[in-house]
Amino acid sequence: MIGVTKGLCQVGVPFEMSEDRIRELEEKIRVAREEYYNLSPVLSDQEFDALVDELHRLKPESPEVTAIGAPIPQLSVWEKVAHQIPMGSLNKVNSEAEFDEWATKATTQVRETHLLGREQLVDFFITHKIDGSSMELVYERGHLVRCVTRGDGIIGEDVTTNIIQVPNIPHILTRSGDRTIRGEIVMLKSVFQEHYASEYANPRNTAAAKVREKKKGGIDCKNLHFIAYWIDSPTVRWDSIYQMFGELQETGFMIPSQPMASDANGIKELFRAETAKRDQVPYEIDGMVVSINNCQVLKELGDLNMRPRGQVAWKFDAAMCVTRVVDVRWQNGPTGRITPVANVEPVNVGGVTITSISLHNLSLFRDLKLFKGCQVLVSRRNDVIPYIEKNLDIEVV
């Protein structure tokens, strides 16, 4: 190594994890979760997911790994309401290999429970994983009576006066009876660009802000949409998720685009196709939700930590991943210019394994303040050039 700044780690020196690191991760995740759900996010989704993934590897039973949403702020202006049925979350997979592992396990459980033969294919269902603000709509005798945010999955906020202004939410269902509808409040990309891009970071944050905004009586909710993905009823049962989506649509709800049912191999093909055209979707999505299609089987598989065993969120390839610096060397280019280059622990970003990253110039090198074993957020800008976006182990002033 030539002339490396004091404080950078040496080649081949492993970074030892400790209880201190676990406590540090738990605190970072707890704070980030509260910031995210209370509309002041500091970390990107990729940064947050990376921290949770690391903590899951170190301590899978940690409460910060299994937590759902975030507690309601003590000083909330909205009434706190218990959900009729807890609003859980989903386990996630990040690659085809991880999906295969989950699908194989789910298929085995279904066959063992229902005595299916090896030649019988298990039917799955795939639809968009919508990046919005989760909402529960409660209908009594066909009339909308309450709209509740996710909160911590058990207790949410009653934001009915705002949400009834969302134009595509039916106030009276075409079919009578009690119903509980789950879905996401979103802001369409086109609406965001036209009205809110100069004020907010993205459509998701904008939608979440308008859901809970008291100013002007929540009138901006007229610029939001509700996309339904689940329906519960004390008197009606649906044979399949596909049938349930049909019921939602017939009842007057907007549903995610192109929901499809298929076997595991067909689901992989559908995922690839949706990945290729994700930018064409009018609302933001960050992956696909894959589920056992049979509703009864899905119920029998149950859940763990409020996450159903028969469903999974298959996230799109991360634009960014977290790794650690193991060395910095100085590279002499063809023009004689000397450039700092960081060697990092191998990390896969968008299907490419990255082991070294140019720091481009001394100014960037100084700004990053790299040190031994520091975590860095790595991207491939324009899907090509490896780049260190951020040193995650320094405080931002």
| Residues forming the active site | 129
Kindly report each contact of residues 272-277 with a partner whose C-beta sits within 8 Å and lies 24 or more positions away, as own/partner: 274/126, 274/128, 275/316, 275/317
Token pair for 23: 């406590």
Residue 342 and residue 357 in contact, taking contact as beta carbons nearer than 8 Å: yes
365-to-5, 84, 279, 332, 373 alpha-carbon distances in Å: 10, 53, 34, 16, 16
Token pair for 365: 């090198």
62-to-23, 26, 152, 247, 344 alpha-carbon distances in Å: 10, 8, 16, 38, 28
246-to-119, 239, 258, 357 alpha-carbon distances in Å: 29, 11, 11, 49
Residue 181 and residue 228 in contact, taking contact as beta carbons nearer than 8 Å: yes
Q: What are phi and psi of 364, to 5 degrees?
A: -65, -40
Paired with 181 in beta bridges are: 137, 231
Counting Cβ atoms within 10 Å, is residue 14 exposed (0-12), middle (13-18) or buried (19+)? Answer: exposed
Residue 341 and residue 357 in contact, taking contact as beta carbons nearer than 8 Å: yes
* Residue for token pair 């060395």: 327
- The CA distance from 150 to 87, in Å, is 6
CA 153 to chain CA centroid, nearest Å = 15
Angle at CA of residue 116, ends 115 and 117, nearest 5°: 120
**Pairing outcome for strands 303-304 and 92-93:** unpaired
Give the count of beta carbons closer than 10 Å to the beta carbon of residue 276.
Answer: 9
